[in-house]
Amino acid sequence: MDLFTIIQSSLGVFLLIFVRISGIFIVTPIFGSRNIPVYIKAGLALAISMILFPIVSQTNVVLPENVLLFTFMMISELMVGWIIGYASSFVFSAVHMAGQLLDTQVGFGIVNVFDPQSGQQVPLIGNFKYILALIVFLITNSHHLLLIALFNSFKIIPITGVVFNTALTGIIVDMVWGIFSIALKISLPVLVSLLLTDIALGILARTMPQMNIFVVGVPGKIIVGIFVLSLALPFYILFLEVAFNGMFTNIYKLLENFK
């Protein structure tokens, strides 16, 4: 019995399950973090695959006899995992965008910190909001819901049943537009307060020309920005819960259009 004949049996089905699960562990905010070693990600994906294999495996799965077709099938399963992972990361991308916008307006635009999770420089307020979003994500057990969505993906999209529809493009475009919408909603309270502060400083500069507005304005905008940001934190946490619910709705909407 050659190697490909063995793959055509249950091992081939197991590989397809493992590839789909591995796609999520590449780009998902929690499971795909760079802080987690690759060996742990691979081991966790393998363990979940072994748990799900007797549950989601089907006896009527027909695997292709051609190696190229089987490779294409594995790529399709990997893309399903990728898309689920990217859909779960859109909210966190919006948080980063909102933090970058707030840093520029408050005055922290040149102050960046190194984020080990993404391996790049991130804005100060953006990093704070991102870490807070991760905490809310874990506290609300959204990572459990993400694993449930992964399990349900095998019910919605059977193994070897991946079909890419044109409707996916419209859904992904709407989700990308949602990044800008969520970022604007997160940063709106601070932006409005800073706009009013700029107007007040402008009036003060015209009425008192001898005052150095630059010296007064920079620390004043920082104080106002941090104060309003602290007041808006409870609403930010509530907004994150709503955004995470919308995120899972989008994930299931994507999965429904894969068949």
pLDDT digits (tens, 9 = 90+) for 105-123: 777 666 665 555 555 566 6
pLDDT at 155: 83
Helix (H, G, I), strand (E, B) or coil at 112: strand
**pLDDT, position 2:** 47
Choose the weakest-confidence range: 74-83, 89-98, 162-171. Answer: 162-171
Give the range among 2-6, 66-70, 208-212 with minimum mean pLDDT.
2-6
pLDDT for residue 259: 64
Q: Tell me, what's the pLDDT at 6?
A: 46
Per-residue pLDDT tens digits for 121-156: 666 777 788 888 888 888 888 888 888 888 888 888
Q: Is the pLDDT of residue 196 over 70?
A: yes
Count of other CB atoms within 10 angstroms of residue 248: 16
Residue 83 has pLDDT above 80, yes or no: yes
pLDDT at 122: 64
* Domain range summary for the chain, segments of one domain joined by +: 3-256
Task: Tell me how far apart the alpha carbons of residues 182 and 26 are, in angstroms, rounded to a whole number.
Answer: 24
Compute the distance between CA of residue 163 and CA of residue 191 in angstroms, rounded to an integer. Answer: 43
pLDDT of 3 over the 60 cut:
no
pLDDT digits (tens, 9 = 90+) for 203-247: 877 887 777 777 777 777 888 888 888 888 888 888 888 888 888
CA pair distance 258, 153, nearest whole angstrom: 10
User: Residue 100 has what pLDDT?
Assistant: 80
| Contact yes or no for 218/107 (Cβ under 8 A) | yes
Higher-confidence residue of 78 and 1: namely: 78
Provide the token pair at 193. 């307060």
- Residue of 63 and 74 predicted with greater confidence: 74
Q: How far is CA 221 from CA 184, 231, 232, in A?
A: 19, 15, 16
What's the chain's average pLDDT?
Answer: 79
Nearest Cα to 184, choosing from 141, 243, 137, 136?
243
Query: Encoding tokens for residue 208?
Result: 């008192």
Across the range 32-56, mean pLDDT stands at 80
The pLDDT, as a whole number, for residue 61 is 67
| Mean pLDDT, residues 170-194 taken together | 86
